[in-house]
């Protein structure tokens, strides 16, 4: 570093930092165009009832295919969208696309609940509740078919504001799920502080460890004691599903059942099922 080289407090600019920043600028620029050229698409991952193996809903996951950059994962572009202020436009696009799809499945006679991920910025967007309400209304979607996923850290940036927004959203009739539970800086107290219907258990809990079974059992029982349902994320192995069965977890998502698919693939598959 600059200091180690004895040049006092000169600001040192790492080449890797420059590269990282250049990449972010490029991503932000391409992302701005993607909304226009139709490069963004929602895919849907089934949420499966542990007991009956029936698909009870899907989670909408954003996919971006860019002619210059190729496929870019949400893990890369969501943070860029948040930093560049594009997340609100992107979030509105996602809400609209999800509600349109709910209506389409409804009309096709294969209704499905769709869960949409919200970002921290959207929770602080002043008109979010109005946005959700008008989206439901415009597509004539009964609110119970829309679920909104938030993480603890997002909801608790400003706890009172976060709780109020979620309560206003819940009052519309949509359900709220707490995403990635137990994987961030979380406090168990939030489980009773926020107006939730479902808790999504982070996939880290299902990774092999000597105490895995007891830990998962304890958490699922605790969540049940609060009258909330559990959705386990990232289920890849049959023994993980067996554990979920043993502890009465309601629902799971994961590659063991299926990856996220296009709306058409989901539709074809629902009709065949």
Q: Can you give the binding site for ligand C2E, defined by CB under 6 A? A: 45, 61-62, 73-75, 78, 94, 117-119, 149, 179-180, 203, 233-236, 253-255, 260
CA–CA gap between residue 270 and residue 273 (Å, rounded): 5
All residues at 6 or more sequence positions from 258 whose CB lies less than 8 Å from its CB, including other chains: 45, 46
Locus of tokens 């137990």: 182
CB of 96 to ligand C2E, least distance (A): 11
| Site for Mg ion contains 122 (CB under 5 A) | no
Question: Per CB under 5 A, does 152 bind Mg ion?
Answer: no
Q: Which residue has the tokens 């989670």?
A: 59
Range in contact with Mg ion (rule: CB under 5 A) among 37-45, 175-183, 208-216, 261-269: 175-183
Nearer to ligand C2E, 18 or 229 (CB): 229
* Nearest residue (CB) to ligand C2E, 18 versus 122: 122
What 3-state class would DSSP assign to 119? coil
Report the site for Mg ion in 179-208 (rule: CB under 5 A): 179-180
Q: Which residue in this structure is represented by tokens 């992107």? A: 90
Complex with ligand C2E: residue 13 or 79, whichever CB lies closer: 79
Q: Could you tell me the smallest distance in angstroms from the CB atom of residue 107 to Mg ion?
A: 26
CB 129 within 8 A of CB 95: no
- 114 with 44: CB under 8 angstroms? yes
Minimum CB separation of residue 145 from Mg ion in Å reads 17
DSSP code, position 47: E
Alpha-carbon torsion (162, 167, 172, 174), positive or negative: positive
119 vs 175 by CB, closer to ligand C2E:
119
Per DSSP, helices labelled H in 66-211 are: 74-83, 87-107, 120-123, 128-138, 152-155, 159-172, 190-193
Binding partner selected for residue 255 from ligand C2E, Mg ion, none, CB under the kind-specific 5 to 8 Å limit: ligand C2E
Q: Which does 123 bind (CB under 5 to 8 A by kind): ligand C2E, Mg ion, none?
A: none
- Residues in contact with Mg ion, counted by CB under 5 A, come to a total of 5
Q: Under the rule (CB under 5 A), what is the footprint of Mg ion? A: 117, 149, 179-180, 233
């Amino acid at each position: 570093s600059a200091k180690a080289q004895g040049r006092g407090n000169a600001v040192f600019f790492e080449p890797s930092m420059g590269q990282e920043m250049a990449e972010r600028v490029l991503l932000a620029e391409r992302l701005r165009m993607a909304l226009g050229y139709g490069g963004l698409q929602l895919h849907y991952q089934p949420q499966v009832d542990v007991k009956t193996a029936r698909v009870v809903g899907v989670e909408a996951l954003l996919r971006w295919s860019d002619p210059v950059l190729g496929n870019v994962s949400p893990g890369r572009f969501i943070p860029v969208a948040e930093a560049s202020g594009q997340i609100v436009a992107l979030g509105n696009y996602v809400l609209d696309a999800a509600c349109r799809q709910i209506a389409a499945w409804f009309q096709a006679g294969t209704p499905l609940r769709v869960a949409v991920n919200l970002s921290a910025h959207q929770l602080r967007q002043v008109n979010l509740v109005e946005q959700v309400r008008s989206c439901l209304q415009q597509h004539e979607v009964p609110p119970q078919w829309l679920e909104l996923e938030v993480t603890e850290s997002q909801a608790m940036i400003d706890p009172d504001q976060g709780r109020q927004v979620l309560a206003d959203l819940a009052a519309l009739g949509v359900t709220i799920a707490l995403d990635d539970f137990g994987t961030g800086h979380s406090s168990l107290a939030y489980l009773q502080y926020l107006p939730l219907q479902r808790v999504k258990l982070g996939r880290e809990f299902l990774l092999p460890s000597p105490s895995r079974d007891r830990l998962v059992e304890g958490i699922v029982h605790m969540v049940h004691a609060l009258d909330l349902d559990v959705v386990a994320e990232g289920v890849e192995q049959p023994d993980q599903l067996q554990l979920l069965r043993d502890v009465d977890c309601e629902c799971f998502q994961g590659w063991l059942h299926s990856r996220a698919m296009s709306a058409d693939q989901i539709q074809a598959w629902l009709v065949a099922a």
